[in-house]
């Protein structure tokens, strides 16, 4: 049987730029066996030793940020001005998890009683499979990888075919930092059947998946027939922003445009729908138009470019379909004149930002994940209507409220159905807060002290002194 060839297509030129070989089914199933053997040794190492390895690996990644950033730009199209920052942000997240690991993983003492010692220990669970996406390959991998290794688990990682080198670079950094062989393995595959097969392996104790709802359900289904296995899912979003009438519209427009179209809108926590108090709606739209006039769409290798291509032709077509559906149902295209939006490089998957007004929830652009640089703006009468519409979604990842009255904003976010709620900020997973999806946006959590929970199991120790 010939091995699968996995090809990375440049979003800038739509030409092949990388290939990787898949594995035979037999070789694939040997990976969990290697992980079990490595785990049996690695789990016995001290937390201090594991901390030193992680610390060294993070420093190596930081030292290599420019080379790694260039690879991100080449493979998924984000402008070069921003890609090294992904690596440094991932390192900072890892360093935070490293900093809190000793306190988070310490034993929990039971009630004091003479002649007894009782405590609960967090112990590693075993081999973990991490499947992570192309849109933020280092950030999404670090979220799971660092706590998994600090606890003492072995890890198998499968990158997106779009960004294959991210996994290889991570593996090399940890190898250079002294991680024992077999503790961190990488495989490439575009085969759903192979992914399901490895997820079903009796050796795998946890599957962490970041990606679409459909693929997340497939992963969950593959693991459903085994009791011990856990599944952590970080899935899609349709994240709302609500702009109250008291804001400085120019400031709010700048912040929300950035939250909507950074990375060409290809983020699970991008702002994908905007509700604006009717009293300032027109002023806000005009402010968004002014902001968009200052953006440059173009070659991502140009340091002045702010918006690069979307990842594929298929993605570009899906975004265009959402815009078309909205316009056919009465939405207005309010995108301002911008020369770079009209004449992007000819061969890539360039999608200009689109500002839509007169939208409603009968349109896909307000209910389905667009994953592109589209900003739909809808009028609302008051706070009550805004909250009702924000919650009218199958997704619940993040949501934001923009207001000078921070106390009122704090009160309103109590009623918003999302795992992370912001006032006067958006699109920012803070490492000290749990990153968790509600509804179809996922289950399980990463980041913060709670980000260690899915990588451990509890073991209670109950020791009685021997009678004299």
Query: In the chain, what percentage of residues exceed pLDDT 90?
Result: 93
Q: Is 304 helix (H, G, I), strand (E, B) or coil?
A: coil
The pLDDT assigned to 237 comes to 97
The pLDDT assigned to 284 comes to 98
User: What is the mean pLDDT of the segment spanning 159-188?
Assistant: 98
Question: Going along 149-305, which residue ranges are E strands?
Answer: 155-158, 184-186, 206-210, 230-234, 239-243, 271-277
Q: How far apart are CA 270 and CA 259, in angstroms?
A: 6
**What string of H, E and C letters represents the secondary structure of 85-128?**
HHHHHHHHHHHHHHHHHHHHHCCEECCCCCCEEEEEEEEECCCE
Q: Is the pLDDT of residue 279 over 60?
A: yes
Domain 5-235+441-463 shares a fold with domain 239-423: no
Distances (CA, A) of 32 to 36, 192, 197, 438: 6, 17, 11, 31
The pLDDT assigned to 224 comes to 80
Q: How far apart are CA 68 and CA 70, in angstroms?
A: 5
At 207, list the tokens: 């599957």
Q: Is 396 helix (H, G, I), strand (E, B) or coil?
A: strand
At 121, list the tokens: 């220990």
Q: How would you class 272 by CB atoms within 10 Å of its CB: exposed for 0-12, middle for 13-18, buried for 19 or more?
A: buried
Q: What residue ranges do the domains of the chain occupy?
A: 5-235+441-463, 239-423
The pLDDT assigned to 192 comes to 84
pLDDT in tens, 207-263: 999 999 988 998 898 888 787 899 999 999 999 999 999 999 999 999 999 999 999
Q: How far apart are CA 349 and CA 438, in angstroms?
A: 31
The answer to whether the predicted template modeling score (pTM) of the entire model surpasses 0.95 is: yes
The pLDDT assigned to 225 comes to 79
Q: How far apart are CA 50 and CA 72, in angstroms?
A: 28
In this structure, the dihedral spanned by the alpha carbons of residues 266, 207, 74 and 263, taken in order and rounded to 10 degrees, is: 20
Residues whose CB falls within 8 Å of the CB of residue 160, separated by 6 or more in sequence, listed in order = 132, 133, 134, 137
To the question of domain 5-235+441-463 being in CATH 3.40.605.10, the answer is yes
At 91, list the tokens: 């390192």
At 276, list the tokens: 């604006």
pLDDT in tens, 77-130: 999 999 999 999 999 999 999 999 999 999 999 999 999 999 999 999 999 999
Pick the CATH number of 239-423 from 3.30.390.30, 2.40.50.140, 3.40.309.10, 3.90.45.10: 3.40.309.10
Which residue out of 74, 86, 234, 255 is catalytically annotated?
234
At 189, list the tokens: 């595959």
Q: Is 111 a catalytic residue?
A: no
Number of H helices, E strands in the chain: 14, 22
Q: Which of 210-214, 299-303, 447-451, 459-463 has the lowest mean pLDDT?
A: 210-214
Q: How far apart are CA 383 and CA 6, in angstroms?
A: 49
Q: How far apart are CA 108 and CA 91, in angstroms?
A: 29
Question: 238 — phi, psi (to 5°)?
Answer: -140, 65
The pLDDT assigned to 114 comes to 96
The pLDDT assigned to 238 comes to 98
Residues whose CB falls within 8 Å of the CB of residue 20, separated by 6 or more in sequence, listed in order = 5, 6, 8, 161, 164, 188
User: What is the mean pLDDT of the segment spanning 8-21?
Assistant: 97
The pLDDT assigned to 1 comes to 54
**Average pLDDT score, the chain:** 97
């Amino acid at each position: 049987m010939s091995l699968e060839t996995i090809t990375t297509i440049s979003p800038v030129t739509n030409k092949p730029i990388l290939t990787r070989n898949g594995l035979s089914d037999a070789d694939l199933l040997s990976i969990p066996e290697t992980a079990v053997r490595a785990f049996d040794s690695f789990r016995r190492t001290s937390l201090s030793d594991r901390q030193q390895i992680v610390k060294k690996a993070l420093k190596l990644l930081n030292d290599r940020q420019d080379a790694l950033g260039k690879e991100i730009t080449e493979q998924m199209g984000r402008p070069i001005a921003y890609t090294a920052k992904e690596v440094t942000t991932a390192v900072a997240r890892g360093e935070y998890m490293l900093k809190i690991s000793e306190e988070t993983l310490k034993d929990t003492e039971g009630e004091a009683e003479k002649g007894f010692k009782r405590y609960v220990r967090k112990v590693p669970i075993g081999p973990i499979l991490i499947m992570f996406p192309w849109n933020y390959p280092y950030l999404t991998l670090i979220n799971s990888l660092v706590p998994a290794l600090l606890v003492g688990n072995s890890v198998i990682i499968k990158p997106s075919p779009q960004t294959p080198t991210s996994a290889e670079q991570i593996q090399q950094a940890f190898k250079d930092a002294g991680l024992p062989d077999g503790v961190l393995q990488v495989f490439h595959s575009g085969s759903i059947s192979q992914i399901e097969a490895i997820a079903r392996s009796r050796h795998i104790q946890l599957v962490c998946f970041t990606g679409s709802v459909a693929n997340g359900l497939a992963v969950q289904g593959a693991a459903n027939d085994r009791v011990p296995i856990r599944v952590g899912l970080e899935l899609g979003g349709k994240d709302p922003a609500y702009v109250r009438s008291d804001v400085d519209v120019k400031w709010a427009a700048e912040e929300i445009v950035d939250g909507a179209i950074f990375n060409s809108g290809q983020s699970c926590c991008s702002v994908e729908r905007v509700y604006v108090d009717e009293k300032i709606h027109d002023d806000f739209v005009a402010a968004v138009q002014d902001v968009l006039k200052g953006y440059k769409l173009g070659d991502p290798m140009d340091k002045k470019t702010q918006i690069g291509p979307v990842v594929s032709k298929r993605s570009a077509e899906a975004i265009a379909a959402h815009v078309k559906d909205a316009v056919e149902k009465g939405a207005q295209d309010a995108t301002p004149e911008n020369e770079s939006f009209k004449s992007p490089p000819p061969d890539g998957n360039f999608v200009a930002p689109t500002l839509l007004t007169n939208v409603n929830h009968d349109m896909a652009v307000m209910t389905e994940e667009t994953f592109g640089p589209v900003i739909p703006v809808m009028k609302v009468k008051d706070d009550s209507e805004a909250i009702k519409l924000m919650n009218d979604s199958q997704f619940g990842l993040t949501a934001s409220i923009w207001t000078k009255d921070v106390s009122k904003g704090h009160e309103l976010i109590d009623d918003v159905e999302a795992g992370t709620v912001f006032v006067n900020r958006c699109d920012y997973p803070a490492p000290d807060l749990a990153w968790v999806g509600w509804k179809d946006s996922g289950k399980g959590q990463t980041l913060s002290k709670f980000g260690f929970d899915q990588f451990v199991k509890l073991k209670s120790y109950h020791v009685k002194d021997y009678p004299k």
